[in-house]
Amino acid sequence: MTDSFLYAAVRTPFGRYSGALADVRPDDLAAAALTGLLAKAPGLDPARIDDVIWGNANGAGEDNRNVGRMAVLLAGLPTSVPATTVNRLCGSSLDAAISGSRAIVAGDASVVVAGGVESMTRAPWVLPKPSRAFPAGGLEAVSTTLGWRLVNPRMPAEWTVSLGECNEQLADKFGISRERQDAFAARSHALAARAWDDGFYRDLTVPIADLDRDEGIRADSSAEKLARLKPSFRPSGTITAGNASPLNDGAAAVLLGNSEMSGTIGLDPLARIAGRAAHALDPQDFGFAPVEAAGKALRQAGIGWSDVGAVELNEAFAVQSLACVDAWDIDPEIVNTRGGAIAIGHPLGASGARILGTLAHVLRERKQRWGVAAICIGVGQALAVVLENVTT
């Protein structure tokens, strides 16, 4: 067996719901990320790509079931390049990267592109198909943008509450205040704005549809301003539109390969994928699932939290992020040093590849050896990956 390395990463800027990317189809978003990634390795013959593994949480509309294959075709890659689409909801593109790295470790592939896409704006409404023709009653169109839909009545009610209610329960369980959540959210915006101003994301993004910067970042945000927002899920709750990730559109991709492919790719690797893990628990506790997922990945890598110098944790909600950081008992200042999903955005299928690519670049920037990328996933799951910086 051989090691798997991350050679390059790119993403589109993330657009707000019904914002700058509203007119861009998800398959076109995916193709843009794929094209942008390959532009970073101009010496790589696209025909040498063994597989494209793409994440997508919807698939019900223009995603067209296998949006990975659609992206390959739309990006003009040889038709001989295969592609598949995986769905682990919010973790889909991190799942794609994990699958790609495993294929390389097993010797089944030498070069793999992994990534993901989501257009939450263009997610369609769906109608349940009646089991018999000409039903007498009406049918309700259901949004596929986010969360449960067409729920099986056999599911226990406590499993199928809204994502927001799940995280209000997490706030109750761990005593995480509204004030802490708003402060965490304000930090996310400040760090993301600074990262763009510093030029950190210029090398990690490819403009699309005249959007050259993440659309949702509010540089003037503050805990005081966020404190004025009304709770979104409970009348006296703690979660608001300001301390949770928004709905977004975007795509992200990473280029993976074994060590022998450096000359073929034309790049030196950024990081070695040293550990990977999945974890699951009760569906309503999904926000806390990264705690054990990261622990498993660290054990696989043979290191502990004391070795970790950078963490990219997808900020689905401020409360779940704080619960995870508290449980890990790590310095919060090493977490999301270039902003997180509350500011940058969370287009479901793209976020895993975003945090993985960002982590590799943060490790290089901060000259740290070890980092963790972790993401919570609706219905009680999480994924985590450990990277080892190989640029120092």
Catalytic residue set: 90, 346, 376
Looking at the DSSP bridge assignments, the partners of residue 370 are 308, 388
The closest alpha carbon to 250, from 348, 343, 340, belongs to: 348
The DSSP string of 208-224 is BTTB-S-TT--TT--HH
Q: Are 215 and 13 in contact (CB under 8 A)?
A: yes
Check if the beta carbon of residue 214 is closer than 8 Å to that of residue 290.
Answer: no
Answer yes or no: are the C-beta atoms of 391 and 361 closer than 8 Å: no
Alpha-carbon distance of 318 to 146, in angstroms, equals: 18
Chain-centroid distance, C-alpha 169? 23
The candidate with the shortest Cα–Cα distance to 292, out of 378, 376, 173, 167, is: 376
Is the CB of residue 33 less than 8 Å from the CB of residue 206?
yes
Name the DSSP class of 33.
H
Q: 148: phi > 0 → left, psi -120 to 50 → alpha, else beta; which?
A: beta
Q: Give the amino acid at 252.
A: A
| Angle subtended at Cα 190 by Cα 121 and Cα 389, rounded to the nearest 5 degrees | 90
CB 77 within 8 A of CB 127: no
**Which sign does the torsion angle of CA 266, 267, 268, 269 carry?**
negative
CB 312 within 8 Å of CB 371: yes
Residue labelled with tokens 């709750």 = 237
